[in-house]
Amino acid sequence: MTPIQTPQTSKKEVWSLNQWLTYLEQVHPNDIELGLDRVALVYKKLGLDLSQRTIVTVAGTNGKGTTCALIEQALLMANCSVAVFSSPHLLDYRERVRVSGAMLSENAHCQAFLKIEQARGDIALTYFEFGTLAALQLMAESNVQYLLLEVGLGGRLDAVNIVDPTIAVITGIDLDHQDWLGATKEQIAIEKAGIFRANIPAIIGDPQPPVTLVSAAFENRVNSFWQGQDFQYKVDHKGFHWQGRNSRYDNLPNPQIPVQNASTALQVIEILGLQLDSSQMMQTFKRTSLPGRRQVVQSKPTVILDVAHNPQATNLLAIDIKNKQPQKVIAVVAMLADKDIEATLAPMLPIVSNWYCASLDVPRGAPASTLVSAVLSNEQKVLDYHSVEAAYISALESAEEDDVLVVFGSFFTVAKILEMRSLTSKIKV
């Protein structure tokens, strides 16, 4: 086995956050190793007690981050203390843990990593497992009442699942990570249902859940709430309307996140018993946004950044863009090679006029030529570029005021544009 190349200093007590992250990337031979035995053992050694907290665990193929963001804003509006663990991050690792709506210091993360390192001994942990335990350590130290935990991969064997939730949420189910979770939606649903616990509320945001999820809810004896049955939403010219078992909201602002996820979050908010009036809920909706999720960074032309990287996500993205009735849609896309590229790009084909396909220069990144093959047709303009940045600059130069330019395909793709825009802004200043 290749020895771990640790950062230059051997004194972990004084490591920077970047040194810790380098170490975490090398400390385990695999990026992913599903299973709870190792991480549960370290969790026990840490001696953390979260039994008095209200814990909402959120699983799903898409929509976990935005669902958590709306719940978080509602809790903050109700003057409740809340912490959120989410992944992956876009630009700054500290994005993964928010306490009272804010990131923590680099030193706080370093101290949490040190505690995990001391507790684990010779137990091997992956990057994500290490980060999950560190997040739980930070949350325990924060003394907040509500914890929102986003599942990284699947549910049943994900590190987050070492903690028993008060409420379980499944946002939606689609084909992604098939090598780990199964080849069909029915198989993937069983993995997601691993976060269920007997007699707790379980909110299902997918309006067309696989039959295996319905069976799992029954077998696990959860108190189920189903999108389209127990709660539903409608969007019209007056805004966003929602109806649950005990609550109703009308004429809310159209959310800056996918409407299906907003509806799912509202059902969680109802179960939590938050007493927010219409005015407070309007403010909650206005304040809820998340970088890289339908993020509008420019107007005239409208530039939208979205991390959509599977068919379900791009289908919803295409619907949202079509509803804007743009003069023309220009797409900048770069993806990972292990994704279902053709199926992911298919929902965008009817609405995109010009494609700017880019190679993604990260491990597992797909070459631009692979994307070109997936979208090439006689009706569309298709160009390929060596980098996301080059594709974006070219697309922006060609766009007119009434066009929509959408950048999507991966967290890495969106991160590159956010980083580029940040650097450009600093240069201008």
Residue 143: other Cβ atoms inside 10 A: 11
Any idea which fold 12-287 has? UDP-N-acetylmuramoyl-L-alanine:D-glutamate ligase (3.40.1190)
* Residue intervals in the chain for CATH 3.90.190.20: 295-428
Write down the pLDDT at residue 12: 82
List, in sequence order, every residue forming a beta bridge with 358; answer none if it has no partner.
385
Write down the pLDDT at residue 1: 41
Cα–Cα distance, 114 to 111 (Å, whole number): 5
Write down the pLDDT at residue 383: 93
pTM above 0.85, yes or no: yes
Cα–Cα distance, 13 to 201 (Å, whole number): 42
Write down the pLDDT at residue 303: 95
* Residue intervals in the chain for CATH 3.40.1190.10: 12-287
Cα–Cα distance, 158 to 141 (Å, whole number): 22
Q: Which residues, 6+ apart, have CB-to-CB distance to 137 below 8 Å?
A: 46, 48, 112, 115, 116
> Low-confidence residues of the chain, pLDDT below 70?
1-10, 28-34, 175-183, 378-379, 423-429
Any idea which fold 295-428 has? Protein-Tyrosine Phosphatase; Chain A (3.90.190)
Write down the pLDDT at residue 143: 86
Write down the pLDDT at residue 427: 44
Write down the pLDDT at residue 344: 95
Q: Which pairs with CB-CB distance under 8 Å and at least 24 residues apart come from 175-181? A: 175/61, 175/310, 175/311, 175/340, 175/343, 176/61, 176/309, 176/310, 176/339, 177/153, 179/338, 180/32, 180/34, 180/153, 180/154, 181/153, 181/154
